[in-house]
Amino acid sequence: MSSFTFQKHLSRRAMLRGAGITLGLPLLEAMTPALAAVKETKQAKRFVGVSLALGLHNPNLVPEGSGRSYKPSRYLTGIQDLREDFTVVSGSSHPGVTGGHTAEGSIFSACPNARGSTTRNTISLDQLMAKHLGHETRFPSLVLNTNSQTSPSYTENGSMIPAENSAMKLFTRLFVNDTAAEQERQAELIRSGRSVMDVVGAEAKSLQRELGAGDRDKLDAWFTSVRELEQRLAANESWTHKPKPKVKLTPPRQIPRDNEVAVERIYLDIMHMALTTDSTRFITLHVTGNNVQGIEGVDEAYHNLSHHGMDEKKLAQLALVEQGVINEWAGFLRKLKTDALLDETMVLLTSNLGNASAHDNKNMPVLFAGGGFKHGQHLAFDQKDNYPLPNLYLGALQRLGLEEASFATTETTMRGLETA
């Protein structure tokens, strides 16, 4: 049997290794100093990832110059009151990720998706955070979409988490208390749901013996998702009878489906309330709506404008839409800053598309704010030989105090992004 030497303290990720077997240790007293040290140094407590299905036009986003003396771009000129609160990153993307729109699944997972091969997605950044820290709030995470149920949030076994795409249902879920009868009904549904999954799980195991290797892998992935859902249901049951926070925000009544920027604002307002009430600490919002004709000066659909082909008329309209998207994101930052939450909240704005018109996944648009980092700069990397964006993700994980040594394709944090 292998021996283990205890020194001043142990990492909470310490392992026992011997005879080809690796076992994770339970929480030991020797680990307490290590945990205390992490708690003292970490400042970030939350992460918000806003992703855009149709990208941002880089010539209007990327500033002139680099470092702290950069000249603001067209899109950034109007948000310079927040200059010291965010970092612009250019020349960055996910290694091995291709496929245009189909790369949406890799936005927060950074999982290579080489076309033509059968690859399974990996856990997304937000869900890895929620896995370790999500138990501290009523909702371990929120996965949202302005229009559909697709999302860039994936479980540990690579299964997509369907997004909540109704702002009205989201508000109710977060802030409207159920009646006592409804609470008991929900608790019973959770209990009965778990028992049903036990039966389904047993049948799945039996079925595995009759399938080929490929199908067994797919079934195993599904079964893992079932187990994860069971764990979430068990956690939710403890919150069933606890009152929800009261907020002054007016519930959304009508959603302006001809104005995607206004829809984004509605979601960001609810997300702000979710964070201020500590209902959750990890949120993703995927902006996917196509209708923007309700914006003054715009008479074409969002997707058509993104395929501008450098047409001046399309670019002019696209700029109106994208400026609105940027402004709403900035408004969200201002609210967090007013509430003294921004230094503890990492907020990322990005897209899988660097050039939506060409379906190019290189040169992803990246604005990264808050979280106790030294901002106010433009990290300008090579536009042809892109810098790995997963490096930023690994740094975000470590900023939360998670002792992750790697994420996706990287084992290095982002160069030039330092903590304050």
Q: What is the tens place of the pLDDT at every residue in 356-395?
A: 999 999 999 999 999 999 999 999 999 999 999 999 999 9
Task: Give the Cα separation of 305 and 240 in Å (integer).
Answer: 45
Average pLDDT score over residue span 101-115:
89
Q: What does R_g of the chain's alpha carbons equal in angstroms?
A: 22
381, 389 in Cβ contact below 8 A? no
pLDDT for position 181? 76
pLDDT score recorded for residue 31: 46
Does 190 have pLDDT greater than 90? no
Structure-token pair, residue 191:
């209990």
pLDDT band at 212 (very low <50, low <70, confident <90, very high): confident
Residue 133 is predicted with a pLDDT of: 94
Residues 8 and 24: their CA atoms lie apart, in Å, by 19
pTM of this structure: 0.82
Sequence letter at residue 399? R
Q: How confident is the model at residue 240 (pLDDT cuts 50, 70, 90)?
A: confident
Report the pLDDT value the prediction gives residue 208, as an integer from 0 to 100: 67
Tens digits of per-residue pLDDT, 118-140? 468 999 999 999 999 998 899 99
Using alpha carbons only, give the angle 352, 126, 46 rounded to the nearest 5 degrees.
120
So what's the pLDDT on residue 242?
82
Residue 9: predicted pLDDT: 46
Structure tokens at 362: 């290189």
* pLDDT above 70 for 201: no
Quote the CA–CA distance of 308 and 323 in Å, as a whole number.
Answer: 16
Average pLDDT, the chain: 85
What sign for the dihedral angle of Cα 267, 273, 278, 279? negative
pLDDT of residue 196: 52
What phi and psi, each to the nearest 5 degrees, are found at residue 333?
-60, -40
**pLDDT > 90: percent of the chain:** 69
Predicted pLDDT of residue 23: 41
Q: Which residues contact 402 (CB under 8 A, 6 or more apart)?
A: 128, 129, 132, 133
Span 191-202, average pLDDT: 58
Mean pLDDT within 273-300: 97
Residue 169 has pLDDT above 70, yes or no: yes
DSSP labels, 148-202:
SS--S-B-TTSPBPPPB--HHHHHHHHH-PPPHHHHHHHHHHHHHHHHHHHHHHH
For 189-202, what is the mean pLDDT? 58
